[in-house]
Structure 1
């Protein structure tokens, strides 16, 4: 199948010069600087770009800019332009240490934004095992011990922590003696505007030829994906025209090898192309392992799909039990329930459409930049005062 339709953006919207980003910090406002290691479409987009866009578009009291550690080679006095410094998942090094020291001299509060459960070195073996990356000497554990240790060092320097879920908030509060606040992930303007366009195109497949979508991206999610395998097999058996759509490089479980000709593989794509790929499926899946690392993940798979009118079937991880009311704005499936839940959702198209409408309304109320900005400014005001 052609994938050209999933290449939507000619360039990423965050590709701005350092001078352009500094200009977004406005005199007479509380100026917030988000510092990340480099621009990328995952954590950076959700925890830096979206936050900056929300503040600059919907707040008169705050202005914000995003910066990278390599910017510090070009500007030695970044903190002179800031009133609040937010370190986003940065690993401790001499640049981070110097930046924090400069902030301390100027009396600027320093916050840390963390979207994953990667701060406990003693739990690193469980983390690596969960990611299916190997525990041998030549596996990834040595890398992860270093990553987790350096993130922990950065966390020890700050005045407060911002995170993505209440579950992760509890884990952090048990470890650090600083305030911890929750700011969920949310859609940026580009995602929401393009999702509106996609909804108007009515891209979902015929009820007799459903497409089930799993949009994770990397092989590290193989164990999550395998939780739903029996349910996927049940769907492919019950619907001869059904297909499974996978984004990224995941292994096909042995139980699904008989259906390999009905499995679509999409390559990595830009974040708007992903919205189109999701809009073309009947149901979106978000299976999650039962451990502290998986339970720390956010609900972004739910709201990305809901934005284009596609309901989600998810594992009952804490964030999904808080977000999804089963049968109202989505579906929850225990490990043994995937076949039952998937088949019931596919069998009742009118009800599935109603669930999709409720999920879309929920996104409009809770996961847009305009609706999230008051929460962001409240947290920044509390921790940055």
Structure 2
């Protein structure tokens, strides 16, 4: 484990702004966008709404303005529609009050766009979702719930003028399903995330990348839905722990170790769900970031956010070769790709370190800063919103 770090940072959700403050954010600017999400969260909402608004509101000259609204704000839909030029509906299911908001924009001749970051709008893929989440396939309520969610998402999508998504694989599904034009604005790190990552990298550099003699693998999950993904790598982790007595595993979030690690419970570090700013501190501490994903069309639509979050703090990732992992990671250059039989070998190649490992970490960080920083995203976002 790397010994250099920075002190824990105070955290509060930066999007907790009263409605009048969020309406006021749209008072200025030649181009104004209102984002709608059912509720705020630290995953989709943060990446697809808060981060996007931060980019637009940070542009010089105050020509662009963005704000965000939620289900409880739908009583103010007329004011929202009057103040914004574009509405972006983020991963929201069809409901009558949302449709009223969308129709207000449409009647005013203002475009309505749908933003989505997962393959959750097409009922033909619900079986993949249920399998990926490890849900009970014998429970009709599971099928009813997920078919209902996907159908409602699809209904919202079909009422929009176009869509925005995270990558070309998912964009292809959106085009095929809806017939609408689709733009790609990738997921990226916001200002706060990048600031703490830069501090962590500087601390590691200043220490000469000092370690404590206990190499540590890390798996970081914000939801319990990745348990089956994690189990892909666990047999390899157990074999490595058998051969390397100093090796440890850090599990952050809702993932639980399986029976294969029962003998090594004293070497498994459990951290609770952590806010997304201080999570960078945990990621920076480990030598290897594990990114297993089940092979499916659903997984191929996932963005590589776990890769660039680790890369920004100089931690090397070992990832399943899903479409967007392959698009981000060149094996041996800025990380490692591992098919099912290769996890043990690829993890060990990173742990062996040396100049090649240091080069991978440096290359990964340079890639994260050049492609996944908030400061790089304005051209794609402006084009996606039709502001050319």
**Which TM-score applies when normalising by structure 2?**
0.93
Q: Distance in 2 between matches of 1:207 and 1:348?
A: 14
SS in 2 for 1:301: helix
1:216 partnered with 2:221: yes
Residue 3 of structure 2 corresponds to none
SS in 2 for 1:77: helix
- SS at 1:212 equivalent: strand
Query: CA–CA distance in 2 between the matches of 1:132 and 1:28?
Result: 46
Shift of 1:138: 5.8
Match of 1:29 in 2: 30
Partners of 1:28 and 1:57 lie apart in 2 by 12
The answer on whether the counterparts of 1:286 and 1:314 sit within 8 Å (CA) in structure 2 is yes
Matching residue of 2:175? 173
Deviations 1:213-272 (A, max 9, x none): 000133321111111123212321232111111112223222222111111111111111
**Match for residue 250 of structure 1?**
255
Residue 43 of structure 1 corresponds to 44
1:374 corresponds to: 379
**Among 273, 288, 294, which residue is 2:293 paired with?**
288
TM-score by length of 1: 0.94
Match of 1:229 in 2: 234
Q: Is the 8 A contact 2:11 2:275 kept in 1?
A: no
What is the distance in 2 between the residues matched to 1:93 and 1:373? 31
Whether contact under 8 Å (1:313, 1:332) holds in the other structure is yes
Cα pair 1:25 1:65 within 8 Å, conserved? yes
Say which of 121, 144, 150 aligns to 1:119.
Answer: 121
How far apart are the structure 2 equivalents of 1:28 and 1:342?
A: 49
1:232-311 pair list within 5 angstroms? 232-311=237-316
- Tell me whether 1:140 sits opposite 2:142 in the alignment: yes
Offset of 1:75 from its aligned partner?
Answer: 4.9
Aligned twin of 2:202: 200
Contact 1:288 1:317 in 2 (8 A): yes
Aligned to 2:111: 109
- In the alignment, the residues of structure 1 paired with residue 306 and residue 176 of structure 2 have an alpha-carbon distance, to the nearest angstrom, of 27
Tell me, what secondary structure is at the counterpart of 2:39? coil
Instruction: Give 1:57 deviation, angstroms.
Output: 0.5
Deviates more, 1:343-352 or 1:361-370: 343-352
Q: How far has the Cα of 1:139 moved from its partner? A: 5.3
SS state of the match for residue 252, structure 2?
strand
1:124 deviates by 1.6
User: For 2:351, which of 346, 351, 357 is the aligned residue?
Assistant: 346
Cα RMSD of the aligned pairs, angstroms, is 1.9
Q: Is 1:80 the counterpart of 2:82 in the alignment?
A: yes
Give the C-alpha shift of residue 353 in structure 1: 1.4
How many residue pairs get aligned? The number is: 379
Q: CA deviation at 1:74?
A: 4.1
CA distance in 1 between counterparts of 2:8 and 2:140 reads: 36
Q: Which runs of 4+ in 1 moved over 4 A?
A: none
Q: Is the 8 A contact 2:78 2:101 kept in 1?
A: no
Instruction: Give 2:71's match in structure 1, choosing from 58, 69, 72.
Output: 69
Output the CA distance in 2 between the equivalents of 1:279 and 1:221: 21
148-157 vs 27-36, which deviates more? 27-36
Answer yes or no: is the 8 Å Cα contact 1:133–1:139 preserved in 2. Answer: no
Deviation at 1:347, TM superposition (A): 1.0
CA distance in 1 between counterparts of 2:365 and 2:125 reads 37
**Range with bigger deviation, 272-281 or 117-126:** 117-126
Alpha-carbon distance in structure 2 between the residues aligned to 1:217 and 1:236 = 25
Residue 19 of structure 1 is matched in structure 2 by: 20
Corresponding residue for residue 356 of structure 1: 361
User: What is residue 333 of structure 2 aligned with on the other side?
Assistant: 328
Cα deviation code 1:147-166 (max 9, x no counterpart): 11111110110011101111
CA distance in 2: counterparts of 1:109 and 1:6, whole angstroms: 45
Are 1:52 and 2:57 counterparts? no
- Paired residues of 1:229 and 1:253 also in contact (CA < 8 A): yes
| Offset, 1:344 | 1.2
Q: Give the 3 Å change call, closer, same or farther, for CA 155–193 of structure 1 in structure 2.
A: same
Deviation at 1:350, TM superposition (A): 2.4
CA–CA distance in structure 2, aligned partners of residues 92 and 107 of structure 1 = 21
